[in-house]
């Protein structure tokens, strides 16, 4: 059986490859092998250090100052804010490659974890759900390298590959030690912010390479705002269980009747869900007419039932006609937004 050749995925411009992944041993092993195979420098950022993004920016500047341009492989610790690191890498001329190493046997459970990590960030220490970190690593990757897949039965591995492809349709998904035929067009770089499956679904561009009948992604659109009390009941009840299948990831834009004039970013992975306020409507005219525009990805999703459940959470005809004055009296059990 042919072995995976890491040199085929090395960064093709500035020579910087960021290696992500929650499994420390697998991440470090791959980074070391990639550096050795390509003659690249193995560079590390300080685990848990808030200045990791600055370290990466300095590394890019050093690489760009060499002739010919040098290569570097950077394994990024899980307690580093990868969004800032990737941002630093993409701000330079480097356009770094992002590789995420995942363990086939544990990745699904990691996406459903309820544990939090005390992580350093430029603004100070913050608590971040481990599941949210895991999904970020997957959604930003150009290559997802699946290790230890031999321990996973074929049916489960097929579903896993499809799920990874739904979460990030632009990524190459490679089983280490196997030959995976992927269309050559997948080699083209997509901007980091356009890689997540939910973003592509909102843009009507969701086209996963790998599919499975049990894995589905669907878009939910609804012009009416949510009744926050009924929505909370759904979130704490049927949506947190498996009545509508196994919901792995959902994200998009939502609007609450009790909080007029502002949309929110809906972010859910596993049992974690957050609603972060966006700019006021007058500052974001493109979102002013948005009600609910959400994308759901999961295993054996009952889309008709989930759609009906969400529809039951928006304002009824009577409530809609009562107007904003009445909406302000609706009980709002969701966490309050803290204005910056």
pLDDT band at 64 (very low <50, low <70, confident <90, very high): low
> So what's the pLDDT on residue 47?
59
Strand order in the sheet with 172-175: 41-42, 72-75, 16-20, 97-103, 143-147, 172-175
Least confident of 123-127, 206-210, 249-253, 295-299: 123-127
Is 146 in a helix, a strand, or coil? Answer: strand
Rounded to whole angstroms, how far apart are CA atoms 127 and 201?
A: 29
pLDDT tens string 26-40: 999 888 888 888 888
pLDDT band at 241 (very low <50, low <70, confident <90, very high): confident
Cis amide prior to 68 (ω within 30 degrees): yes
Rounded to 5 degrees, φ, ψ at 330 are -70, 130
Higher-confidence residue of 30 and 96: namely 30
Asked whether the beta carbons of 146 and 116 are under 8 A apart, the reply is no
pLDDT band at 293 (very low <50, low <70, confident <90, very high): very high
Give me the half-sphere count of Cα atoms (radius 13 Å) on the Cβ side of residue 50.
8
pLDDT tens string 2-29: 233 333 333 333 478 889 999 999 999 8
DSSP state at residue 335: P
> So what's the pLDDT on residue 62?
74
Rounded to whole angstroms, how far apart are CA atoms 1 and 179?
A: 8
> So what's the pLDDT on residue 95?
63
> Which run of H or of E encompasses 157?
helix 154-167
Rounded to whole angstroms, how far apart are CA atoms 55 and 98?
A: 16
pLDDT tens string 129-179: 899 999 999 999 988 999 999 999 999 999 999 999 999 999 989 987 543
Rounded to whole angstroms, how far apart are CA atoms 230 and 333?
A: 10
> So what's the pLDDT on residue 193?
87
Higher-confidence residue of 68 and 170: namely 170
């Amino acid at each position: 059986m042919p072995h995976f050749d890491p040199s085929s995925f090395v960064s093709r411009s500035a020579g910087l490859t960021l290696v992500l992944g929650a499994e420390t041993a697998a991440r470090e092993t791959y980074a070391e092998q990639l550096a050795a195979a390509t003659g690249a420098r193995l560079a590390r950022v300080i685990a848990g250090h808030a200045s990791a993004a600055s370290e990466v920016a300095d590394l890019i500047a050093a690489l760009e100052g060499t002739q010919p341009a040098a290569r570097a492989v950077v394994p990024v610790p899980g307690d580093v804010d990868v969004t800032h690191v990737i941002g630093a890498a993409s701000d330079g001329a480097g356009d770094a490659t992002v590789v995420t190493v995942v363990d086939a046997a544990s990745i699904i459970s990691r996406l459903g974890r309820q544990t939090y990590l005390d992580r350093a960030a430029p603004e100070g220490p913050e608590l971040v759900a481990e599941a949210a970190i895991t999904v970020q690593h997957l959604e930003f990757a150009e290559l997802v390298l699946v290790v230890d897949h031999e321990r996973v039965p074929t049916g489960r591995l097929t579903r896993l590959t499809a799920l990874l492809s739904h979460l990030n349709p632009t990524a190459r998904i490679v089983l280490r030690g196997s030959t995976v035929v992927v269309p050559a067009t997948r080699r083209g770089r997509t901007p980091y912010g356009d890689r997540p499956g939910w973003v592509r679904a909102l843009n009507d561009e969701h086209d996963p390479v790998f599919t499975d009948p049990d894995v589905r992604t669907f878009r939910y659109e609804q012009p009416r705002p949510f009744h926050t009390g009924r929505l909370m009941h759904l979130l704490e009840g049927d949506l947190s269980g498996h009545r509508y299948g196994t919901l792995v990831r959902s994200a998009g834009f939502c609007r609450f009747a009790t909080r007029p004039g502002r949309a929110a970013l809906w972010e859910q992975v596993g049992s974690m869900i957050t609603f972060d306020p966006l700019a006021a409507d007058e500052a974001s005219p493109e979102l002013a007419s948005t009600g609910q525009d959400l994308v759901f990805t999961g295993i054996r999703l009952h889309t008709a039932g989930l759609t009906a459940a969400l529809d039951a959470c928006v304002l009824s005809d009577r409530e809609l006609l009562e107007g904003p004055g009445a909406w302000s009296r609706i009980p709002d059990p969701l966490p309050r937004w803290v204005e910056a």
